[in-house]
Amino acid sequence: MGLRKVARKLFLGLSRSLNIRDVDLELAVISREPRYKTGITNIFGKPFKYHDGLSFTATYKEIFQTHIYEFAQSNDSRTILDCGANMGLSVLYFAQNYPNHRIIAFEPDLAIFALLQENINTFGFSNVVLYNKAVWKKEETLTFFTDKGMGGRVMNSYTGQQPSSIEATRLRDYINADVDFLKIDIEGAEDSVLRDCADLLSIVNNIFFEYHNDINSPQTLHELLQIVKEQGFHYYIKESYTRRKPFMDTELTCEAFDMAINVFCYKNTTNDQHSQHLV
């Protein structure tokens, strides 16, 4: 038996209390696995299934080590909308850290949704509601393409891939004053969805969205930032996908995007609470 398989067996038997070194070793093992191969990790103390090792490790580090989705919870609002839940790492983070919130999560990819559902059932969360749907600007059936990792998108194709059909639901129908955190990571559809929800965004406390710029379409980040600004938010932007030499390289992500930007939208009161929380 190879060393990698031995390491996997050892880690699958680990107890709930993995230390930082154990976690780093487990992530290193997973990241070297073949792409798009289903696996199981016990890094959370219970079996967690993933569909791509590299996607798992990158997302785990971002969510559980960098705490990209941490927010100062409201005393009144108790709903988290997770648009683009993928295998469930974000849902797991929200459910563990905000146990008094109701998490409503959307994932359109049928195969990935099955993993998401299994993972959430494994942990027995009673405050999570899952929908095998895409969030969109209206209720309809959409053409869907997937990169089999972290990205699935509507309408825009991948080379040589036969699309599937998925059901879409209108996000604005879920937005109300009880939404404490809105997360949107939907591989290019964020432009249409945010515009459709624009007049309702002011009643949400915190918003995160990842902006993907299609190389064949006009850039619209400035317009989306203006929308959240008009709705009473301050924003902070941070690279998600990095191009080291933007003047020189033409490398794309997901065959279509030359830019992936994380946008954190917060209000003054929330920012003050967050500053006190960090102190």
| 251-269 tens-digit pLDDT | 666 557 788 999 999 997 6
Distance between CA 153 and CA 233 in Å, rounded?
A: 27
Give, in order, the Cα–Cα distances in Å from 266 to each of 86, 91, 172, 232: 24, 20, 19, 8
pLDDT at 206 exceeding the cut of 80: yes
Give CA–CA dist 79/102, Å, rounded: 5
Q: Is the pLDDT of residue 166 over 70?
A: yes
Strands 140-146 and 152-154: antiparallel
Specify the pLDDT at position 12. 44
Q: Work out the pLDDT band at 157, boundaries 50, 70, 90.
A: low
Local confidence band at 27 (pLDDT 50, 70, 90 cut-offs): very high
Do 108 and 193 form a contact (C-beta atoms < 8 A)?
A: no
H-state helical runs in the chain: 3-12, 20-31, 53-60, 89-97, 110-123, 190-197, 221-230, 268-278
- In the CATH scheme, what architecture does the domain 67-278 have? 3-Layer(aba) Sandwich (3.40)
Residue 180 scores a pLDDT above 70:
yes
Of 140-144, 145-149, 194-198, which one has max mean pLDDT?
194-198
Band of the pLDDT at 146, cuts 50, 70, 90?
confident
From-to residues of CATH 3.40.50.150 in the chain: 67-278
Residue 236 has pLDDT above 60, yes or no: yes
**Residues 136-173, buried b or exposed e (16+ Cβ, 10 A)?**
bbeeeebebbbbbbbbbbbebebeeeeeeebebbbbbe
140-146/164-170 β-pairing: antiparallel
Q: How far apart are CA 193 and CA 171, in angstroms?
A: 7
- Number of other CB atoms surrounding residue 218 within 10 Å: 7
pLDDT of amino acid 268: 78
The residue among 16, 88, 8 whose CA lies nearest residue 46 is 16
What is the structure's pLDDT at 54?
A: 94
Quick one: DSSP state of residue 34?
Answer: P
- 7: confidence class by pLDDT, cuts 50, 70, 90: very low
Contact criterion met (CB below 8 Å) for 265 and 207: yes
Residues 6+ apart with CB under 8 A from 161: 145, 146
